[in-house]
Amino acid sequence: MEKLQAAIEIARKKREAERGDNPPPPDNPQPPEGLAGPGSAQPAFPAPPGDTDALWQALPETGLDRAALIRSRILSQNASQESTPFDVLRTKILYHMRQNGWRRLAVTSPLPECGKTTTAVNLALALGRQPELRSMLFDFDLRAPSVSDKLGLPQPPSIAPLLRGERTFADHGQRVGPNLALALSGVPETDPTRLLMADTTRNTLARIQADYAPDIMIFDLPSILIGDDARAFLQHVDCALILARADQTRYGDFDSCEREVGEYTNVLGVVLNGYRHSEGKVDAVEGPERA
């Protein structure tokens, strides 16, 4: 575990020196006023136009079963001690995305079983508790969509007709609470790379962003090193969060993943999942830290 952390830090410093990057922000940056939550004087992002309200309200609202969420380690629907790691992650992500004017965030990992989908769903629900923000979560792991299972929802239809422009977001999307929208898929695609690279997908997302004015769009992508699906889509996001697992991710795989992601978009940070403290407790999330 310590070797992985040390290797990540060495690689980060080396890449910064090679690129001439500015040093990362302090370990505990103070978020701007309005970012941290209730009682803030201003929202983290500009408020969307009033004519989007009707579109959001028209999305069918779905309820989530708390017991089903807990079984899937989805802990951030309500504020609690268990949700704290994801709340910290939410605040750090919002801070960095606001500082850079970014709206689209991909979540990926070097290989499967790193917790990327669990983290993406927890992050989306944590964002949904921010009343001044509107967020969207897209299940773009098209070969093996699993967001609906994590949420304990019935199998949804394929997302492919939405991306091809054959179905509107109003007909496909669902809403959790007043300000979190879901674009789920329940049918594995046999050729997702072609769909993710298509102009229709780019145009569909641009239309959704223009119509619904979300403050942040989260895309749960496949793992980088198992195929080219994620690479096909990364060019369409502003930044990416990489999930590594302390007890199984090899540094070589992480380094390859980080370099691949960096070719297509900005690496927002790394979440170290499954880190065990000396007293035997497990943190669901550590990060994001720049790598």
More confident residue, 65 or 281: 65
Distance of CA 289 to the CA centre of its chain: 15
Question: Which whole-number Å values give the CA distances from 283 to 52, 90, 131, 195, in the listed order?
Answer: 38, 15, 27, 36
Least confident of 51-55, 148-152, 248-252, 273-277: 273-277
Tell me what pLDDT residue 18 has: 57
219 pLDDT tier (thresholds 50, 70, 90): very high
What b-and-e string marks burial along 122-131, b requiring 16 or more CB atoms within 10 Å of the CB?
A: bbbbbbbbbe
CA 76 to CA 85: how far, in whole Å?
9
More confident residue, 8 or 170: 170
Tell me what pLDDT residue 7 has: 56
Pairing of strands 104-108, 216-220: parallel
Please state, rounded to an integer, the average pLDDT across all residues of the chain.
Answer: 84
Tell me what pLDDT residue 273 has: 87
Tell me what pLDDT residue 282 has: 36
In order of start, what are the domains of the chain with their CATH numbers? 2-16+55-62+77-283 (3.40.50.300)
Residue of 22, 17, 15 whose CA lies nearest to 259: 15
Tell me what pLDDT residue 153 has: 96
Q: Is 268 helix (H, G, I), strand (E, B) or coil?
A: strand
Query: According to DSSP H, which parts of the chain are helical?
Result: 2-19, 53-58, 66-71, 84-100, 116-128, 147-151, 160-163, 169-172, 192-197, 199-212, 229-234, 251-264
CA 88 to CA 72: how far, in whole Å?
20
Does residue 17 register a pLDDT over 80?
A: no
Q: Is 175 helix (H, G, I), strand (E, B) or coil?
A: strand
Q: Work out the average pLDDT over 102-130.
A: 96
- Residues of the chain with pLDDT > 70, as a percent, come to 77
Least confident of 32-36, 178-182, 225-229: 32-36
- Cβ-contact 268, 97 below 8 angstroms: yes
- Cβ-contact 239, 95 below 8 angstroms: no
